[in-house]
Amino acid sequence: MIYDLIIIGAGPAGAAASVYAGRKKIKTLLLTESFGGQSIVSDNIENWIGIKKISGFELAKILEDHVRAHEEVEIKMPEKAVSVKEVSSGWEVSTYNGGIYQSKTLIVTSGGRRRRLNVPGEDKFDGKGVSYCSTCDAPLFKDKEVAVIGGGNAGLEAVIDLIHYASKIYIINHGSELSGDQSTQEEIRKSPKVVVINNAETQEILGDRFVTAIKYLDKQSNQVKELSVGGIFVEIGSIPNSEFMKGLIEMNKAGEIIVDHRTLATSKPGIFAAGDVTDEIYKQNNISVGDAIAATLSAYNYLLNIKKQSPAYENKNSN
């Protein structure tokens, strides 16, 4: 069977595309590992329009419920696209579990994932002092000295999670000043526990059974310095989940899929993309939803055009 549309990923973008595709009665297949996207680990989302406060977990559930209300959308989960190639009918997606699915159009909403430091010791001490989830793990660092890598909003929020527990928090910041929101900066600067280290590049994570220290380069003095810490929270942004599309469509240097921001079309006809996997500047849940809806409407128009061009359609209309 050839689907009209395959949607890859079910964060806010993929869920929005699925709901709109369902309402347009487009024969759709949704391939996803899970629902909810990167916000699922957030304990508090306060900017999802229409809801004052919701956890990432609850948001994932309401998105899944909304998608499942549409019978036209077939769901394969947990499933993951590993490659896509061009075929005569459109596109062919191969999956992690060995599935092969064809469709006339594709919407790529595979989102992003946490960027890792890529320094020695990071993998070895993952879960042994290195954490990527401050809301989860902060309570385990009671009365310990810790480092937060990253001075953006996510880094500052990790600091806030840790303030109740850790005895001292170093912020290892790449830039010359913190880049997170002013209001959050003011909040953390009130705490005597917080020490900001600017112009610093993490070089190595040290330890025995657990993390014991971090080494960083002080870019101003060009000296390597070491801090004794029991925990390291990595908050240095995200990278796009676009590897499976490499070589097929145009991407920028960061690996983000380049889209026409009016239509969400990619460099290949019939393939659209939306959300954090694209070169959209603002990585926001609400924007991902809006862009995915535009992508779905573009895919719908594209499908109508193929139908009009097909010989069967012309025969039917000339009689």
Partner 1 sequence: MANKVVIYTTPECVYCKMTKEFFKENNVVYEEKDVSVDDKARDEMVEKSGQLGVPVTDINGKIIVGFDKEKLSEILGIKN
38 near partner 1 (CB under 8 A): no
Least Å from the CB of residue 125 to partner 1:
9
Query: Can you tell me whether residue 40 is helix, strand or coil?
Result: helix
Least Å from the CB of residue 38 to partner 1:
11
98 near partner 1 (CB under 8 A): no
Query: In whole angstroms, what is the distance from residue 165 CA to residue 149 CA?
Result: 17
Phi-psi region of 127 (alpha: psi -120 to 50; beta: other; left: phi over 0): left
Q: 25, 43, 228, 267: which one contacts partner 1 (CB under 8 A)?
A: 43
Question: CA–CA distance from 166 to each of 133, 205, 279 (Å)?
Answer: 15, 19, 37
Least Å from the CB of residue 35 to partner 1:
11
Query: In whole angstroms, what is the distance from residue 292 CA to residue 274 CA?
Result: 5
For the window 210-229, what string marks contact with partner 1 as x by the rule CB under 8 A?
xx------------------
26 closest CA partner among 294, 226, 302: 302
For the window 49-68, what string marks contact with partner 1 as x by the rule CB under 8 A?
------xxx-----------
9 near partner 1 (CB under 8 A): no
Q: 28, 38, 103, 131: which one contacts partner 1 (CB under 8 A)?
A: 131
272 closest CA partner among 244, 302, 239: 302
160 near partner 1 (CB under 8 A): no
# residues contacting partner 1 (CB under 8 A): 23
Query: In whole angstroms, what is the distance from residue 285 CA to residue 15 CA?
Result: 11
Which positions touch partner 1 (CB under 8 A)? 40-41, 43, 55-57, 127-129, 131, 133, 135-142, 209-211, 231
